[in-house]
A and B are shown apart, each in its own frame.
Chain A
Amino acid sequence: MSAFDFNNTSGRYVEAAGSSSINNFTALTFWLWFYADAFQSGDRWWSKFGQELINNFGDADDFYLSIDRATTLAEAASNENFATGKWWFLAGTYDESDGPRLFKGDLDTAVAECAYTTRNVGAGATNSSTGVLRVGTGYNFTTGQPDARVALFGLRNDRLTLTQIRRLQYAPLMAESATKLLWWLGYNGLTNVPDLSGNLNTGTVAGSVALANGVPIELIPLFTRPNYAAVEAAPAGGHPAMRRLGLFDYMRPVEIGRQNVRIF
């Protein structure tokens, strides 16, 4: 599975215009797979007016999810080491009663909640967030960007449980009804990234398109032929992570559309 390489290139980010399907979330879940070559202060991993994930100080343990609320800001700062040179799964949730939370996993480790240096639920109604959504910008929102690759980015307007987030971690790209934006950023190198959620929140690439294959992520993208050989060559019972989650049978390749399939 390929990824979009922000590669510390000034002015390279992916943007969706504000739309009714992604504005003014009062509950949300986001998730992404990323591979960082370095962390830099002020990288905004995703940002939408008053709701964002930022690395303020350029540390591998400093992801900061903040949601603007009428009385007190909701905020969660991670205290986990997302080491460079490795694929990580990072997710976050928020609603007004539970506040913000962050979750961390990788290819072989099921996602779990992060430890925090700060976590405040915040107070008051969630403020509106009608601005554009950008993935991979720098501190001033235009120049600068993560020195990292991002394989996919998803956003939903509900708060998932840890169990539900674990399903997302190794699942094929799929969009349930609450998923409002789902980008496979390494899709095909176009300047427009299709929104697989069906909500037409197409991503526009600013700056040059750059794909990086990097270290492969063993996810099976929607609409593409699975790598049957790789799956079948995995140890008996499937990839360890899939086996641990009981997903191997679910992900066993099935030939569809080649023969012996009738559509009524």
Chain B
Amino acid sequence: MALLTADQRRQVARRFAEVEFRDNNQTANLDVDDLMAAAQEADIYQDSVTVAYNTALPLRFRNNATARQKNLLLRLVMEEHAP
């Protein structure tokens, strides 16, 4: 399910475009419509991942940890996974 508002998706697209344009040495191969469509799909994917992550957690942690604590745990694991 998509959670972001249209304005939030626009903001994601704007920021992505700026970073991509600079890092790609002032060239852009994706247009704004591409970015908006991708932001919507990424939003849906992120929601599904969050739901799946919550379901995967052990019951005591799932029921007693706050959302912030769950995010912290996931971020720490992702950092360890990163090369």
> Could you tell me the distance between the alpha carbons of A204 and B32 in the complex, rounded to whole angstroms?
28
Q: Which of A66, A75, A77, A141 contacts B26 (CB 8 A)?
A: A141
Q: Tell me whether A139 and B31 are in contact in the complex, defined as CB-CB below 8 angstroms, given that A56-B13, A57-B10, A131-B26 are known contacts.
A: yes
* Alpha-carbon distance A264/B63, docked complex (angstroms): 89
- Do A50 and B22 form a contact, CB below 8 Å, given A42-B31, A56-B32, A75-B15? yes
Closest chain B residue to A58, Cβ basis: B32
Report the Cα distance A49→B19, complex, angstroms: 11
- B17 contacts the other chain (CB 8 A): yes
Residue A68 at the chain B interface, CB threshold 8 Å: yes
Among B7, B19, B26, B31, residue most surrounded by chain A Cβ atoms (within 10 Å): B26
Say whether A64 faces chain B, with CB atoms less than 8 Å apart.
yes
Q: Pick the contact of A42: B7, B22, B29, B32 (CB < 8 A).
A: B32
Residue among B13, B17, B25, B33 with most chain A CB within 10 A: B17
Across the two chains, which residue of chain A brings its CB closest to B7? A117
Say yes or no: is B66 at the interface (Cβ < 8 Å to chain A): no
Chain A contacts for B29, CB-based, 8 A: 140
Question: Which applies to chain B's interface (DSSP): helix, strand, loop or mixed?
Answer: helix
Binary A-proximity of B25-37 (CB < 8 A = 1, otherwise 0) = 1111101110000
B residues near A52, Cβ cutoff 8 Å: 18
A75-B22 Cα distance, complex, nearest whole Å: 14
A2 to B27, CA, bound (A): 31
A57-B32 contact given A68-B22, A73-B19, CB 8 Å threshold: yes
In the complex, which residue of chain A has the Cβ closest to the Cβ of B33?
A41
Q: Which of chain B's residues have a CB closer than 8 A to the CB of A177? A: none
Contact B27–A56 (Cβ < 8 Å): no
Query: Is B62 part of the binding interface, using a Cβ–Cβ cutoff of 8 Å?
Result: no
Interface residue? A47 (CB, 8 A):
yes
Give A127 to B25 CA distance when docked, in angstroms. Answer: 14
Complex Cα–Cα for A73 and B21 (A) = 13
Question: Which A residues form the contact surface with B (CB < 8 A)?
Answer: 41-42, 47, 49-50, 52, 54, 56-57, 64, 66, 68, 73, 75, 77, 117-118, 127, 131-132, 139-141
17 A-B residue pairs with CB within 8 Å = A41-B31, A42-B32, A49-B26, A50-B22, A52-B18, A56-B17, A57-B10, A57-B32, A66-B14, A68-B18, A73-B15, A75-B14, A75-B15, A131-B25, A139-B31, A140-B27, A141-B27
| B interface residues with partner A (beta carbon < 8 Å) | 7, 10-11, 13-15, 17-19, 21-22, 25-29, 31-33
